[in-house]
């Protein structure tokens, strides 16, 4: 059975990640896996000091430094285990019944790839444990988004239970996939849905977004749609603020104006300025 996977790392977003993942697991009625990866670059599993100048002949010091690194890694793994246990208790308090814990020592993206086929949804924090306050986007987030092809829910620091959803619609395959997801997934059942297209209000664009809205309405959803002009990122945020949208859904890659943001500065602007959760689709 596929599950919701949540990246637990001790960052300021960790509690929010746990809460969004618990919310998703409950609505999807699927198990929750809390996943912690100990970064091999910070905590090497088998430190090699032989390349350090001046240490080759100082065997005792080299062995001592190696033992210290190994001890640091062991303590970090223990700390990660405690974080996972705490997150599990939090999820159980949220009424999630099936909670699994997994811990890895290695690269985050590669570790997630190993479990990708078993994911229904990945939940990850907007920034990681080592992200500075001046750069709110986690250093590994973009790599994960580029690599993992399951839906990814990016969680801000504070959890807000989604009461309404906005899909950034552009008529592309990715946004049509978003329509199918909104229509079929139980995670959106009963939530008001907003479809927003940024661009010229032509007959073709209007027909495209209206057809998408009608499809959702036929599935029993409460839907409204709108076409707005302007730059993508500020226009989307403006609509979201006006309508108090809790969760934005959009495609992660492609060549349209909306989906180009992940290869340029709009990506950073969008993630750095968002105060709500963002669900990314491939």
Q: Is residue 101 part of a domain?
A: yes
| Domain closes at, from 105, 122, 155 | 155
Report how far residue 68's alpha carbon sits from residue 62's, in angstroms, rounded to the nearest whole number.
10
Helices (H), the chain: 14-28, 59-93, 108-115, 141-147, 173-184, 203-218, 232-242, 265-273
CA angle 96, 154, 200 (to 5 degrees): 130
Mean pLDDT of successive 10-residue stretches along the chain, which has 282 residues? 92 93 97 88 52 56 63 71 93 96 90 94 82 58 86 93 92 82 91 93 93 94 94 89 92 51 51 81 78
Same structural domain, 109 and 176:
no
Same structural domain, 80 and 98:
yes
The domain in which residue 194 lies consists of 165-281
Same structural domain, 36 and 151:
yes
Q: Is residue 214 part of a domain?
A: yes
Q: Is residue 53 part of a domain?
A: no
Percentage helix, strand, coil for the chain under 3-state DSSP, each rounded to 5: 45, 20, 35
Q: Is residue 177 part of a domain?
A: yes
Same structural domain, 149 and 213:
no
Q: Is residue 57 part of a domain?
A: no
Same structural domain, 135 and 220:
no
Report how far residue 99's alpha carbon sits from residue 87's, in angstroms, rounded to the nearest whole number.
10
Q: Is residue 137 part of a domain?
A: yes
Domains identified in the chain, total number: 2
Same structural domain, 128 and 22:
yes
Same structural domain, 219 and 192:
yes
Looking at residue 255, its pLDDT comes to: 41
Looking at residue 281, its pLDDT comes to: 83
Q: Is residue 62 part of a domain?
A: no
Same structural domain, 87 and 172:
no
CATH number of the domain residue 237 falls in: 3.40.50.620
Looking at residue 233, its pLDDT comes to: 84
Same structural domain, 11 and 121:
yes
Report how far residue 64's alpha carbon sits from residue 60's, in angstroms, rounded to the nearest whole number.
6
Looking at residue 76, its pLDDT comes to: 66
Same structural domain, 256 and 123:
no
| Domain closes at, from 155, 178, 210 | 155
Looking at residue 264, its pLDDT comes to: 45
Same structural domain, 121 and 235:
no
Same structural domain, 125 and 264:
no
Q: Is residue 191 part of a domain?
A: yes
| Domain closes at, from 108, 135, 155 | 155
């Amino acid at each position: 059975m596929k599950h919701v996977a949540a990246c637990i790392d001790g960052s300021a977003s960790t509690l929010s990640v746990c809460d969004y993942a618990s919310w998703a697991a409950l609505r999807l009625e699927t198990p929750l896996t809390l996943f912690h990866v100990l970064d091999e670059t910070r905590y090497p599993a088998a430190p090699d000091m032989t390349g350090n100048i001046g240490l080759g002949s100082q065997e005792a010091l080299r062995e001592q430094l190696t033992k210290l690194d190994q001890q640091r890694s062991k303590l970090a793994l223990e700390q990660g285990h405690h974080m996972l246990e705490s997150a599990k208790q939090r999820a159980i308090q949220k009424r999630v019944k099936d909670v699994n814990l997994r811990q890895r020592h290695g690269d985050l993206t590669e570790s997630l790839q190993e479990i990708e086929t078993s994911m229904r949804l990945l939940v990850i924090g907007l920034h990681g444990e080592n992200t500075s306050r001046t750069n709110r986007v986690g250093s590994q987030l973009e790599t994960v988004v580029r690599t993992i092809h399951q839906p990814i829910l990016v969680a801000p620091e504070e959890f807000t239970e989604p009461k309404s959803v906005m899909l950034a619609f552009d008529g592309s395959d990715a946004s049509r996939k978003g329509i199918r997801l909104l229509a079929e997934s139980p995670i959106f059942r009963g939530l008001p849905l907003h479809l927003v297209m940024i661009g010229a209000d032509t007959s073709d664009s209007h027909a495209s977004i209206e057809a998408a809205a009608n499809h959702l309405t036929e599935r029993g959803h409460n839907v409204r749609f709108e076409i707005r002009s302007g730059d993508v990122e500020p226009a989307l945020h403006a609509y979201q603020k006006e309508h108090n949208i809790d969760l934005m859904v959009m495609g992660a890659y492609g060549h349209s104006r909306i989906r180009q943001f992940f290869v340029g500065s709009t990506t950073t602007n969008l993630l750095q300025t968002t105060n709500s959760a963002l669900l990314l689709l491939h």
